[in-house]
Structure 1
Amino acid sequence: MAFDYSKLWKLLEEKKMYKEDLRIDTGMSSATLAKLGKNEIVSMDVLGRICESLKCDVGDIVSYLVEEKLEQSDEY
């Protein structure tokens, strides 16, 4: 699974908010903010609090990226 939070950072920029402002407003830990920065998985609770804070929908802050898996065949 791969997630991309670049929409979140763009939205924060549009709202002239800093990441630290969002962290404080949502009550998330600095470790969770770091996970978002690394496009790692965070809980739906955190995403919900971000949406509430920014008055947006979850699709406005995160994208799911489809990872193509290479299938290996036993045939040569």
Structure 2
Amino acid sequence: MIFLNVSYRPLWEKIDETGMKKAELWKLAKISASTCQKLRNNEHVTTTILLRICEVLNCDISEVIEFV
């Protein structure tokens, strides 16, 4: 079995592109502080969380996560 690590580098780039503050995104997407920490540490989060982020950023899930 192959295990892939996740990276949210594309998410941080997308946030920078939009000019939105991270705190505003977390509030609009209803993301908890613990989930924010998981994202910062490139830990796995649920697809539901990622889709809420994408909804706020008006983007596709492939634009906020990559597998390395």
- Which structure has the bigger radius of gyration? 1
Equivalent residue, structure 2, for 1:38: 41
TM-score w.r.t. the length of structure 2 is: 0.91
Q: Aligned to 1:59, which of 26, 47, 62?
A: 62
Equivalent residue, structure 1, for 2:19: 16
Q: After the TM superposition, which segments of 4 or more aligned residues of structure 1 sit over 6 Å from their partners?
A: none
Gaps of 5+ in 2: none
Higher-helix-fraction structure? 2
* 1:58 Cα deviation after fit: 0.5
TM-score w.r.t. the length of structure 1 is: 0.82
* 1:46 Cα deviation after fit: 0.1
Gaps of 5+ in 1: 66-76
Cα RMSD for the two superposed structures: 0.7
